[in-house]
Amino acid sequence: MCLHRLKHVRHGFEEALSIKSAKPVTEPHDKEIIKKGAVYLAPSNYHMAVELGNTFSLSTEGAINNSRPAIDVTLDTASYTYRKKVIGILLSGANKDGAMGMKKIKDRGGLTIVQDPQECMIDTMPTAAMSLTTIDYVLGIDQIIEFLLELDQQYR
């Protein structure tokens, strides 16, 4: 999971997500091995890439789309590594970060989902993705949660 957040806020969000999630939520370290069934949150102020060999790579390279972490970096590298096994989900947001990553997922055979722009607080991110590529599903938050729960049941 990659989320735009303030770079000086280092703690709290991981803990808040852990309360709501049935799966463990952690911020990975550089070169950490990706484990099945875990939820990973890009650390504040680091780009998070997915590398061949099932590891994460963290960097402090310049901001992309005015963001670090940049969602495009995570989605692009995840789609390169996992191809058709990737599901990209893009939610409400105020810039176009994630649109190019969703296109890469689609181009590489993965599945794309965006939050219904009519439900978004700020619809720029899902709308940008929809204008750049064909999105497989446009869903409300409750529908996205239902989709993920059903998917989890299938792969247990």
Which range of residues forms the domain containing residue 54? 13-154
CB 77 within 8 A of CB 106: no
Q: What is the pTM of this model?
A: 0.90
Give 133's DSSP letter: S
Q: What angle do CA 150, 15, 46 make, to 5 degrees?
A: 95
Residue 110 included in any domain: yes
Is 84 among the domain residues?
A: yes
- Give 130's contacts (C-beta < 8 A, 6+ positions apart): 114, 117, 138
Where do runs of H (alpha helix) occur along the chain? Answer: 13-20, 71-82, 99-107, 124-132, 141-154
Query: Could you report the per-residue pLDDT of 108-117, keeping only the tens digit for each?
Result: 999 999 999 9
Q: Give the count of domains, the chain.
A: 1
115-142 pLDDT, tens digit each: 999 999 999 999 999 999 999 999 999 9
Q: What is the CATH number of the domain that holds 43?
A: 3.40.50.180
The token pair that represents 125 in the structure block: 């991110």
